[in-house]
Structure 1
């Protein structure tokens, strides 16, 4: 049994249910057309560049509108209606976080890929973020997972020992990188499996 002193949470997909489809199903009548838009116009790499702090809406939105004028309104909605992509908190995982906070057995931090421009929406909406000692936001640091430098920054800023830190993320690539850096990892699929593992680690 490995001793765990710290739990480092990802947010999106673990504690927050974010998906652009929550917005764009309202704007597209056809799911196939919506999926093409999300694969080819406002695609995952384009979104990742915002999370990485390499693109700002002031530049990226007009650029896409110029290249895809037929989707002018849909592209604008990515910024103007971004909160509609947030379905809400993943309550079962938030409950786990709250229980860990009450038990006071581990330190709690978060490491999230999130645009600096949309981060204020999260701070305004999710009270559970106060449970963390600190949160490292990719868009504010201009680094994003799985870049090992953002893990190194978390180690330095939060004073972590990776071998005593459980990192929880829903991205396999992020988990693989964290594991290479010596973190104990949990590839998040659902809250029940997470709770079972925390029980095995005697944290729950």
Structure 2
């Protein structure tokens, strides 16, 4: 059994079901055309730059529309209809968070790659965010996982000891970086597995 004082959660893919396909399945009739759009036009690195705070939608949307005029409406939807990318909370993981909160045996924080411009949509929608003692949002800090500096900032701001902190994320790159920095880690892909590990550590 590990000695865990703090649990540090990722949000998207762990507690929040965010996926641009939730929106773009409504826009594209052809799944292949949708996948091309999401891999070549509004692609993951383009989205990451917003999460990192390196791009603003006010600039990036018009620039992308200029380069891809045939997809101007679909590009506009990324900002205009962004909340439709949020399907909702991942209930079974949120239940784990609630159990941790009710037991009160560990400190609870979140570290998320999320655009500062779209973060208010999450705050407005998800009440479970109030369970965290603190949340560090990449877009507000102009740093994003897996940059080691965002982990260092998280530890400094929230006074965390990595060797006493369990970091939960669905990204292998983020998990690898956290592990190199001394965090205990859980590479998330299934709430059932996470709960099982929490039981083994006597956290829930």
TM-score norm. by structure 2 comes to 0.99
Q: Deviations over 1:147-186 (max 9, x none)?
A: 0000000000010000000000000000000000000000
1:129 correspondence with 2:129: yes
The whole-number CA distance in structure 2 between the counterparts of 1:121 and 1:192 is: 28
Q: Write out per-residue CA displacement over residues 44-92 of structure 1, whole angstroms, 9 at most, x where no aligned residue.
A: 0000000000000011000000000000000000000000000000000
Instruction: State the alpha-carbon separation in 2 of the partners of residues 162 and 9 from structure 1.
Output: 13
CA deviations 1:91-132 (Å, max 9, x no partner) are 000000000000000000000000000000000000000000
Counterparts of residues 1-204 of structure 1 (less than 5 Å): 1-204=1-204
Structure 2 SS opposite 1:185: strand
| 3-state SS, counterpart of residue 13 of structure 2 | coil
Secondary structure (helix, strand or coil) at the match of 1:96 reads: helix
SS of corresponding position for 2:145: coil
SS of equivalent residue, structure 1 residue 150: helix
1:87 partner SS: strand
Deviation of residue 200 (structure 1)?
A: 1.0
Structure 2: tracts of 5 or more residues without a match? none
**3-state secondary structure, aligned to 2:26:** coil
Superposed structure 1 runs of 4+ greater than 4 Å apart: none
Displacement, 1:9? Answer: 0.2
1:2 CA displacement: 2.2
**TM-score, normalising length from structure 1?**
0.99
Paired with 1:23 and 1:202, the residues of 2 have a C-alpha distance of 39
Distance (whole Å) between structure 2 residues aligned to residue 129 and residue 97 of structure 1: 10
- C-alpha displacement at 1:202, in angstroms? 1.1
